[in-house]
């Protein structure tokens, strides 16, 4: 989605190096502690390369991506490489854990739901038509071979960003011990606290005041991922609908929190908890409480 050569910007900020770039339709940043400028730049470039590699490989918009190859397979079997197969396996696990609410094939619903200020709820007929093209049960997945029925699409967008954060962290940890915080559009992970401080300070955006951090979370190690969007939601039939859609109904779970932020060891786990909680609608908090994870819900 980025056009032209991506650019890395490096700033010094409060004793830390902050490397920023755009990838996966999000502002991405890497905060490095205890490094000089050349090593901070090296870390930033490493992060950017890995993020862009993942974006290119799994973007459904690019004609050279694996996802495009699958979606254009027209019902023929496709052999997947290990990394793609791992992501498909992970998506299948989420589908099973959510009893079908999360579905890698539900991306087509974006044609019905536009979450912007003037959006209205789509017609039942449109939803019904789209549901015809959704359902992991109809996909034949025998690793490494995937066979997607004609007319269906898969979308790894639901797990890609968190996965990229974890991959970038792993790449950085291969070259340095210095503590870093990798933040891709609010999904983030820290490898350790900045030197001389107990934790990184992470702001969770407030539901009411856009751009103003309401809750500050002190993260020393581990990940935080947020599902939901404080800006995008739809009011219909007197209910508020979030932007995570239940693949079984084609509708977002009713009475879901505006946003759910979850803390976990990896960004992938945190993101999965947040998505699964969102799909619970009004029971989002209950699921997270029963799981015993730390979370922050905005309603």
- In the complex, minimum distance from the CB of residue 231 to other proteins, in angstroms, rounded to a whole number: 23
Q: Shortest CA distance to 265 belongs to which of 142, 196, 165?
A: 165
- In the complex, minimum distance from the CB of residue 137 to other proteins, in angstroms, rounded to a whole number: 15
Of 10, 26, 34, 171, the residue at the interface with other proteins (CB under 8 A) is: 34
Q: Is 297 in the site for other proteins (CB under 8 A)?
A: no
CA distance readout (Å), 21 to 25, 28, 47: 10, 5, 9
**Strand ordering across the sheet containing 16-23:** 9-13, 16-23, 26-32, 180-184, 187-190
Size of interface with other proteins, in residues (CB under 8 A): 61
- In the complex, minimum distance from the CB of residue 210 to other proteins, in angstroms, rounded to a whole number: 18
Contact 152, 132 (CB under 8 A): no
- In the complex, minimum distance from the CB of residue 264 to other proteins, in angstroms, rounded to a whole number: 6
Of 98, 106, 183, 230, the residue at the interface with other proteins (CB under 8 A) is: 98
Residue 137 DSSP SS3: helix
Strand 77-79 and strand 200-205: the pairing is unpaired
Q: Is 155 in the site for other proteins (CB under 8 A)?
A: no
- In the complex, minimum distance from the CB of residue 28 to other proteins, in angstroms, rounded to a whole number: 19
Q: Is 135 in the site for other proteins (CB under 8 A)?
A: no
Q: Is 222 in the site for other proteins (CB under 8 A)?
A: yes
Of 45-53, 56-64, 144-152, 271-279, the segment contacting other proteins by CB under 8 A is 271-279
Q: Is 1 in the site for other proteins (CB under 8 A)?
A: no
Q: Shortest CA distance to 153 belongs to which of 173, 172, 130?
A: 130
Q: Is 218 in the site for other proteins (CB under 8 A)?
A: yes
- In the complex, minimum distance from the CB of residue 51 to other proteins, in angstroms, rounded to a whole number: 15
Of 52, 264, 274, 278, the residue at the interface with other proteins (CB under 8 A) is: 264
Contact 50, 43 (CB under 8 A): no
Q: Shortest CA distance to 297 belongs to which of 289, 287, 285?
A: 285
| Exposure on the CB side of residue 269, measured as CA atoms within 13 A | 12
Which helix (H) or strand (E) segment holds residue 173: the answer is helix 157-175
How far from the centroid of its chain's Cα atoms is residue 60's Cα?
A: 14
- In the complex, minimum distance from the CB of residue 7 to other proteins, in angstroms, rounded to a whole number: 25
Residues making contact with other proteins (CB under 8 A): 14-15, 33-36, 86-87, 89-90, 93-94, 96-101, 163, 166-167, 170, 177, 192, 194-196, 199, 201, 215-224, 246, 263-266, 268-270, 272-273, 276, 279-280, 283, 286-287, 290-294, 296
């Amino acid at each position: 989605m980025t056009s032209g050569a991506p650019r890395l910007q490096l700033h010094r900020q409060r004793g830390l190096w902050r490397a920023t770039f755009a990838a996966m339709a999000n502002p991405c940043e890497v905060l490095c502690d205890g490094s000089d400028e050349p090593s901070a730049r090296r870390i930033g470039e490493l992060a950017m390369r890995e993020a862009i590699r993942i974006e290119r490989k799994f973007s459904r918009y690019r004609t050279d991506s694996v996802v495009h190859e699958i979606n254009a397979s027209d019902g023929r079997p496709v052999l997947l490489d290990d990394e793609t197969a791992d992501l498909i396996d992970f998506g299948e696990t989420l589908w099973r854990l959510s009893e079908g609410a999360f579905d890698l094939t539900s991306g087509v619903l974006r044609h019905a739901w536009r979450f912007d200020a003037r959006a209205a709820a789509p017609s039942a007929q449109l939803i019904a038509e789209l549901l015809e093209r959704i359902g992991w049960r109809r996909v034949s997945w025998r690793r490494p071979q995937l066979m997607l029925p004609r007319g269906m699409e898969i979308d790894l967008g639901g797990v890609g960003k968190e996965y990229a954060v974890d991959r970038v962290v792993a790449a950085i940890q291969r070259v340095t011990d210095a503590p870093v915080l990798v933040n891709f559009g609010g999904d983030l992970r820290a490898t350790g606290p900045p030197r001389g401080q107990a934790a990184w300070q992470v702001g969770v955006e407030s539901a009411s005041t856009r751009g103003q951090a309401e809750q500050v979370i002190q993260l020393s190690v581990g990940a935080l991922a947020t599902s939901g969007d404080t800006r995008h939601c739809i009011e219909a039939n007197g209910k508020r609908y979030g932007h995570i859609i239940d693949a079984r109904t084609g509708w977002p779970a009713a009475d879901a929190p505006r946003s759910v932020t979850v803390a976990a060891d990896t960004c992938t786990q945190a993101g999965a908890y947040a998505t699964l909680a969102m799909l619970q609608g009004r029971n989002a908090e209950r699921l997270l409480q029963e799981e015993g994870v730390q979370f922050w819900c905005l309603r």
